[in-house]
Amino acid sequence: MIAVALGAAAFAIAFRGALGLVVRRWGNEADIVAAARHAPIWLRLLAPAAGGLCAGLLGVLVARAPAGQGVADVMEAVVLGRVRLSMRVTLLKSLSSWLAIASGGSLGREGPLIQFGGAAGKWLSDRLGLTLPQTRVLIAAGTAAGFTAAYNTPLAAVLFVLEVVVGVVALDTVVPVLVSAVLATALTRAAAGEGPIYGQRAFHLSTPSELLAFGGLGLFVAFGAQTFMRLLSFGETLFQRRWLNPPWRSALGGLLAGSVVAVLPEAAGNGYEPLNTILNGGFAVGFTLWLLLGKCLATTASVSSGSPGGVFTPTLLLGGGLGFVYASALSHLGLAPGPSGGYALVGMAAATAATTHAPMMAAVMVFELSGDYAIALPLLLATALATFTSRWLRADSIYSAELRRRGVAWQLTLDGRRRA
């Protein structure tokens, strides 16, 4: 377990460090958005297409392997014991994801980090000859290590495994996951710094009645998150044409994402940089709406075309942007809400809860990102309402929907996850 946690954290540090090195060396900027902003338009257009083509070529090799990868495969391995995780496939997918992200594709980098943690647990269990129950626990621990290495949020990482992956609190899973999250966080913080990745944020409720506004925010963001999820599904349907085969499928997706980046450089990358600007109130409302539309389209083009990567951070950007727009609308109506940055923070949690159906994980994650206890009540209320609304609109989360497409349907009960 110690080896898996430290290995997952080391992989995350190397993955992010390599991305940063490429941006600084060839982009001559501190981050990918700044590099895209100063690059010529033709390069913004063609670089994601080239990255998508390279990712697609690697994807052809991955498609020949019987093993699976991704959060859905981790869920299947831990809950059903149907372990199909392969370190070779994971490394190929991670390289493919790295190429797509480094070239300006609109993808989250958390996907390969989480997948590597789970695959590392499977790989080590094979080396040690562990039993299936022990293997499942080690995969869960590795998944938590990968998550916390991506976001520097150990408590949210534990809840991600318990709420999203396992679906039930079991002591034989909780203890290894807790220890793994602690070890991975310690190594990540030693290399990348201890502060929240979005900076320390202050928050306060203007009046107790403002909780009603945050409840409304949860409902508002749930509809936005559902629209994003359905856009991703629609994109997958469009790209699954018989005449459009890999690697040309992912190259076309990269070209479409590049066409967005060409006119909107802020859409490049995973969304970390523009989200920080939104939290600081640096964008106008009109530009924020334009950014959200462009980011959703670029992410759909990148992800639905087959370029591997996550949508977790783009979802955070969507929620933060909707929270900022919501606060601005309230202010325009004369309702005088608190600072828009607080609404952006709560919107981040609401969007995460709406897509994952994991309200506690989403609330705790943003609580860790903000570091302010005063935000706890708005977070809990908004994530609960966002999850309820999202499940009413669509029973599946973004992860269980992928399993359902494979013929594996989950039903969440008081006893845990059961096959539907």
Give residue 364's pLDDT.
Answer: 93
Helices (H) and strands (E) in the chain, counts: 18, 2
Other beta carbons less than 10 A from residue 77's beta carbon = 25
Radius of gyration of the chain, Cα coordinates, nearest whole angstrom: 20
Alpha-carbon distances of 73 from 192, 307, 370, 403, rounded to whole Å: 29, 17, 31, 8
* Lowest mean pLDDT across 21-35, 122-136, 192-206, 348-362: 192-206
Q: b vs e for 220-252, b when ≥16 Cβ sit within 10 Å of the residue's Cβ? A: bbbebbbebbeebbebbeebeeeeeebbebbbb
For residue 63, pLDDT over 90 is answered with no
Q: Is 344 exposed, middle or buried (0-12, 13-18, 19+ CB in 10 A)?
A: buried
Pick from 395, 414, 381: which is nearest to 167 by CA?
A: 414
Half-sphere CA count of 331, side-chain side, radius 13 A: 12
| Second-level CATH architecture of 2-192 | Orthogonal Bundle (1.10)
Per-residue pLDDT band for 199 (boundaries 50, 70, 90) equals low
- What pLDDT was estimated at residue 409? 62
Domains 2-192 and 210-405 share a fold: yes
Task: Please give, one letter per residue, the 3-state secondary structure of 46-61.
Answer: HHHHHHHHHHHHHHHH
Position 67 pLDDT exceeds 60: no
Least confident of 98-102, 195-199, 220-224, 241-245: 195-199
User: What pLDDT is stored for residue 397 in this prediction?
Assistant: 83
Q: CB-based contacts of 371: which residues, under 8 Å, 6+ apart? A: 196, 200, 201
| Closest residue by Cα to residue 203 from 6, 330, 369, 373 | 373
Neighbours of 212 (CB within 10 A): 11
Band of residue 152 on the pLDDT scale cut at 50, 70, 90:
confident
Query: At the fourth CATH level, which superfamily is domain 210-405?
Result: Clc chloride channel (1.10.3080.10)
**Tokens coding 333:** 């109506």
Helix, strand, or coil here: 50? helix
> Looking at 44-48, 241-245, 267-271, 389-393, which range is the least confident one?
241-245
Q: What is the pLDDT of residue 111?
A: 82
Higher pLDDT, 203 or 295: 295
Range of lowest pLDDT (143-157, 232-246, 267-281): 232-246
Cα separation values, 96 from 250, 261, 275, 301, 348, Å: 11, 20, 25, 16, 27
Q: Which residues pair with 413 in a beta bridge?
A: 416
Q: For 158-195, write each residue's pLDDT tens digit.
A: 988 888 887 766 667 888 898 899 999 888 888 777 66
Residue with tokens 């034989």: 172
46 pLDDT higher than 60: yes
Residue 71: closest CA among 167, 196, 189? 167
What is the structure's pLDDT at 326? Answer: 96
Asked whether 298 and 318 are in contact (CB, 8 A), the reply is no
The answer to whether 406 and 75 are in contact (CB under 8 A) is: no
pLDDT at residue 227 tops 80: yes
Cα distance between residue 25 and residue 216, in whole Å = 45
Higher pLDDT, 30 or 45: 45
Domain spans of the chain?
A: 2-192, 210-405
Please tell me which residue, 147 or 73, carries the higher pLDDT value. Answer: 147
pTM of structure: 0.91
Q: How far apart (Å, rounded) are the C-alpha atoms in residues 384 and 159? A: 15
Contact by Cβ (8 Å): 67, 84: yes
Give the per-residue pLDDT at 196: 66
Q: What is the pLDDT of residue 335?
A: 80
Cβ(168)–Cβ(417) below 8 Å = yes
At residue 83 the predicted structure's pLDDT band, cuts being 50, 70 and 90, is low
Above 60 in pLDDT, residue 419? Answer: no
> Does the pLDDT at position 109 exceed 70?
yes
Write down the pLDDT at residue 55: 86
Omega before 274 within 30 of 0, i.e. cis: no
404 or 106: whose pLDDT is higher? 106
For residues 386 and 307, the model is more confident at 386
8 Å CB contact between 238 and 305: no
Q: Is the pLDDT confidence value at 221 over 90?
A: yes
